[in-house]
């Protein structure tokens, strides 16, 4: 398994994995995957990666989105991470998130945050394992299929960037 930059050519596979996540009802409030152009505009160009097998199968993806256009938050980004149904439980998410953390610090980001449904225990545990902590939750923040949902807010503060 290799972690490489997410290029437009991989979008069909990335989109399929995104749709698998949507289908679980535990990954996002989104009900459909966007088109490449919209997704591309909303994610940081140099901080998006895929896990790809030796056979060329995309096993998962991870990307960062800016949390604000205000300059004081230039070092803060939100994590999106999705693993293909076929590869769940095989540490693909861990490899992707570890890689993203390293690359985000190289890009001078000092805080990564994630919004995760409390019921998505695997994602919460993955993030906690890699140094994220639950800093709070948004209670009944939005409806999904007619049901109000809470969202945990997790954060990882860099130990090497923004420490001055």
Residue 141 Cα distances to 16, 100, 127, 137, 155, angstroms: 27, 27, 21, 9, 18
pTM score, whole prediction: 0.94
Domain extent listing, the chain:
2-112
Q: Do β-strands 147-157 and 58-66 pair in parallel, antiparallel, or remain unpaired? A: unpaired
So what's the pLDDT on residue 127?
98
**Can you tell me which residue has the tokens 């994602």?**
123
So what's the pLDDT on residue 119?
97
CATH class of 2-112: alpha beta
Give the tens place of pLDDT for each residue, 1-52.
999 999 999 999 999 999 999 999 999 999 999 999 999 999 999 999 999 9
- Percentage with pLDDT > 70 across the chain: 100
Average pLDDT for 74-99: 97
d(CA 159, CA 95): 20
So what's the pLDDT on residue 4?
98
Q: How confident is the model at residue 163 (pLDDT cuts 50, 70, 90)?
A: confident
């Amino acid at each position: 398994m290799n972690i490489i930059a997410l290029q437009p050519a991989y979008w069909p596979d990335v989109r399929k994995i995104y749709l698998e996540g949507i289908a679980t009802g535990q990954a996002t409030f989104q009900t459909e995957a966007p088109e490449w152009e919209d997704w591309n505009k909303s994610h940081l160009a140099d901080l998006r990666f895929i896990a790809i097998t030796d056979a060329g199968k995309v096993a998962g993806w991870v990307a960062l989105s800016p949390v604000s256009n205000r300059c004081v938050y230039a070092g803060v980004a939100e994590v999106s991470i999705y693993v293909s149904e076929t590869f769940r439980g095989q540490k693909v998410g861990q490899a992707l998130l570890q890689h993203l953390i390293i690359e985000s610090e190289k890009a001078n980001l000092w805080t990564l945050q994630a919004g995760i449904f409390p019921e998505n225990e695997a994602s919460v545990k993955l993030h906690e394992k890699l140094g994220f902590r639950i800093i709070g939750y948004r209670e009944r923040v939005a409806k999904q299929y007619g049901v109000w949902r809470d969202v945990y807010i997790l954060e990882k503060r860099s130990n090497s960037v923004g420490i001055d």
